[in-house]
Amino acid sequence: MTNSAHAPQLRLTPTEWLICIIAAIGFAFDTYELLMLPLIVGPALGELVNARLGTPEYAQWVGRLFFVPAVFGGIFGLLGGYLTDRFGRRSVLTWSILLYAFSALAAGFATNIYWLLFFRCTTFVGVCVEFVAATAWLAELFSEPKRRERVLGYTQAFGSVGGILVTAAYYLCVTYGERFPAIAGGHAAWRYTLISGIIPAIPLIIIRPFLPESPIWREKKKAGTLKRPSVAELFAPRFRKTTIVTTIMFACSYGAAFGAIQHMPRIVPGLEDVRTLAPAARQQAVSAVQSFQEFGGLLGRMLLAFLAVRILARRPLLWVFQVPGLFVVPLVFFLAADSSLEWAKWGIFFAGLFTVAQFSFWGNYLPRVYPTYLRGTGESFAANVGGRMIGTFAAYVTPTMAASMPGGSPTRQLAYAAAAVALVVYVVGFLTSFKLPEPKEQELPE
């Protein structure tokens, strides 16, 4: 394994390749599991509660399915960060991936809306824990600064590959679902899409015995010098500003994603050149727009990974994506309902680029501002309390606001509400960024 006191190796060892492969699979299927919901929520609600877009019942259940799992994920994700610091990065990473994979499988067989909600909650718990365990694990395994930034940046880029994969999976399920075995007496594409979430468990079970624990964590644990993590310590004078600022900004990043971007699949069916299509063709159009978002997000993550070793100051690196996003994302949604399908594709491409890149930023930034014994807990507080619990509340705010927005149609009202939420969270995030502490050094704090 690379040591920060030596020049970085030019090539990864076989073990390091395994580490990166499992991390990339984990990040990919984090996004895969989360982005299923915007694709399948409409058809699932139509089957399980007979609710349709524009009805109060539909809006209520959309809000619940987006927000309630996020709250559970945030609560148990915070616990997962603590367990990551107490019992090691590798074990928690493994169990979190298994949890969300088998939860997604079970969700595909849900017989009512409450079982679907339950298994979306357990899926979210696994996803929330996995991100924290994986970033701490990678940061400590690749301790040389530039190599660490590259590994974190490029493995996190697979989060957007996951979005592309779930879009492709949904397209295949919509197109060929009638050829698959019947579930609950039918061939619903949303069920097959959920079941496909079992995929990451397969390579993990095979590769797990070859994965090493973080050497930094293991050595401190063995020597008895690893301090016990504490959530309260995150608010001690040494860490208070970092904790508060990163929590607010993480909430804003997730607010843009859940309050705006993830509602585009529900806007697309109401576009003028989409609503007259056959039902299967409308869902294919939704899948196509979603794929543009994910390709934009992938490009944003790749740019972040490229720039992370070239722009050393963290705030200017974040502003590369945050400043243009402040203007682009609200405008995309303000114009979305009255635009063409082609506009929706390219608009969401750039909205995804500027917003999704910020998630990779936090994966690179947070390991550098907390010491080993507090790294998982600190990352988890920002990601899960800020991002998953506070930020995802925007998913509930947007459809609730839509009912009172002008526009004259459910599609236009939803688009205007998404634009308003995007503007607010981007403004708050940008203003807060001026308080973001710069890491004191390139090395990880001990």
Average pLDDT over residues 310-322: 92
Does any domain span residue 443? no
Average pLDDT over residues 12-19: 85
Quick one: pLDDT at residue 7? 46
Question: CATH number for the domain including 61?
Answer: 1.20.1250.20
* pLDDT tens, residue by residue, 47-63: 998 888 778 888 888 88
The CA–CA distances, whole Å, from 255 to 261, 398, 427 equal 9, 10, 11
Is 70 exceeded by the pLDDT of residue 6? Answer: no
Does any domain span residue 5? no
Cα 425 from Cα 214, distance rounded (Å): 35
Tokens of 299: 């490009």
Quick one: pLDDT at residue 5? 41
* pLDDT tens, residue by residue, 269-293: 888 888 888 887 887 888 788 889 8
Quick one: pLDDT at residue 10? 56
Radius of gyration of the chain (CA): 21
Quick one: pLDDT at residue 426? 97
Average pLDDT over residues 368-377: 89
Does any domain span residue 8? no
Does any domain span residue 391? yes
Quick one: pLDDT at residue 352? 93
Average pLDDT over residues 289-308: 91
The 3-state secondary structure of 143-207 reads CCHHHHHHHHHHHHCHHHHHHHHHHHHHHHHHHHHHHCCCECCECCHHHHHHHHHHCCHHHHHHH
Does any domain span residue 281? yes
* pLDDT tens, residue by residue, 186-240: 889 899 999 998 888 888 888 877 888 888 888 988 888 888 888 899 999 999 9
Is 90 exceeded by the pLDDT of residue 8? Answer: no
Average pLDDT over residues 97-111: 90
pLDDT band at 326 (very low <50, low <70, confident <90, very high): very high
Under 8 Å CB-to-CB from 219, ≥6 apart: which residues? Answer: none
Is 50 exceeded by the pLDDT of residue 131? Answer: yes
CA 64-70-74 angle, to 5 degrees, is: 145
Cα 380 from Cα 82, distance rounded (Å): 8
Does any domain span residue 2? no
| Sequence letter at residue 273 | D
Cα 93 from Cα 130, distance rounded (Å): 5
Q: Whole domain around residue 54: which residue ranges?
A: 14-433
Does any domain span residue 9? no
Does any domain span residue 7? no
Is 50 exceeded by the pLDDT of residue 439? Answer: yes
Q: How many domains does the chain have?
A: 1
Q: Is the dihedral of CA 364, 366, 372, 376 positive or negative?
A: negative
Q: How long a stretch of residues is the chain?
A: 446
